[in-house]
Amino acid sequence: MTAPPRACRPHRSQENPVAEPESAYFVPSVDTAARVLAMLTRYRTQSCTLSEITSALDVSKTTCLRVLKTLQAHGLVAFDATGKRYSLGYYCVVLGSRAQESLDYLAALRPLMRECARRTGHTIVFAQRVPGDRMMYVAKEDSGNPMHINVSVGNRFPVTDVSYGKWVLAFADEAERRRLLADGLRQVTPRTRTDPDEYLAEVARLPERGVLVSRGEYLPGVLAVSCPVLDSSGGLRGVLVALGLSDAVDEDELDALRSVMREMGTRCRFDGGAPGFTA
């Protein structure tokens, strides 16, 4: 299930968040290039005109054009002369592949994700928190089931919008929880929990339960069953999520899915400097 492509709509610069830079080492043109690439990874903004990019990133057209043409020369950005739109270039495929190979914990996690997809028949994704208080899909495994949820690595969502973002709050301190909830909870679908007290009560139960089930909280008709992936100190490394069609999963199947994901949560742990996942 993939939403039909939509025209690129301008987004302000907060849609392409970056970590707070150290001013002594900050290079504005490199920052602009990084934000351009981040913007083009988003599904909604994967193909944009110069005007749309400059409006979203709040940079001048002259500066942005120079950055785009430099990225294009290195194969990091492609330009469609007919539609006058920019998108990611071929060399991003190489970078993405090399990055996944070099991230040891992803290499160690993938066999478990494949096993999980095979046992559940659902799409399995690994999501991590990224700057801008968002969750991002950094890896996925499809089950081969013709009736499945299709997602893209790189998709990002506000932490408090998606159900599995609750794991971030479950392992955060009180001050961080208050900060994340300072602007309230957005009503994404009719099933979204928007009462802060109810939301936090569910968050408080998560570490003991070890698994979270959500039906239609972010997308109508989509089931999400998630478990945490922890590091050796018990901190949150990321979240493993099984995504499926809610109407296709009855209570018995949900119990089995919940059991598999709880098992995965106990087997997925990053120990010190090396992956510590159990096969």
| pLDDT > 70 fraction of the chain, expressed in percent and rounded | 86
Q: What is the mean pLDDT of residues 176-184?
A: 95
pLDDT per position as a tens digit, 211-245: 999 999 999 999 999 999 998 888 999 999 999 99
- pTM over 0.85? The answer is no
Residues 66 and 121 in one domain: no
Residues 140 and 230 in one domain: yes
In the predicted structure, residue 273 carries a pLDDT above the cut 60: no
Structural domain includes residue 96? no
In the predicted structure, residue 17 carries a pLDDT above the cut 70: no
Residues 261 and 138 in one domain: yes
Which of 44, 68, 91 is where one domain is finished?
91
Residues 235 and 122 in one domain: yes
> pLDDT-based confidence at 3, cuts 50/70/90?
very low
* pLDDT at res. 103: 67
* pLDDT at res. 98: 76
The domain that contains 33 carries what CATH number?
1.10.10.10
> pLDDT-based confidence at 1, cuts 50/70/90?
very low
CB-CB contact of 150 with 254 (8 Å): no
Residue type, 169: L
> pLDDT-based confidence at 275, cuts 50/70/90?
very low
Question: Which of 44-53, 69-78, 149-158, 187-196 has the weakest average pLDDT?
Answer: 149-158
Residues 166 and 217 in one domain: yes
Residues 193 and 116 in one domain: yes
Residues 244 and 113 in one domain: yes
pLDDT per position as a tens digit, 78-117: 999 999 999 999 888 888 777 766 566 787 888 999 999 9
Residues 29 and 66 in one domain: yes
Pick from 184, 207, 223: nearest CA to 265: 207
Mean pLDDT of the chain: 86
Residue type, 171: F
Domain of residue 86 covers: 13-91
**What is the tally of structural domains in the chain?**
2
Residues 112 and 178 in one domain: yes
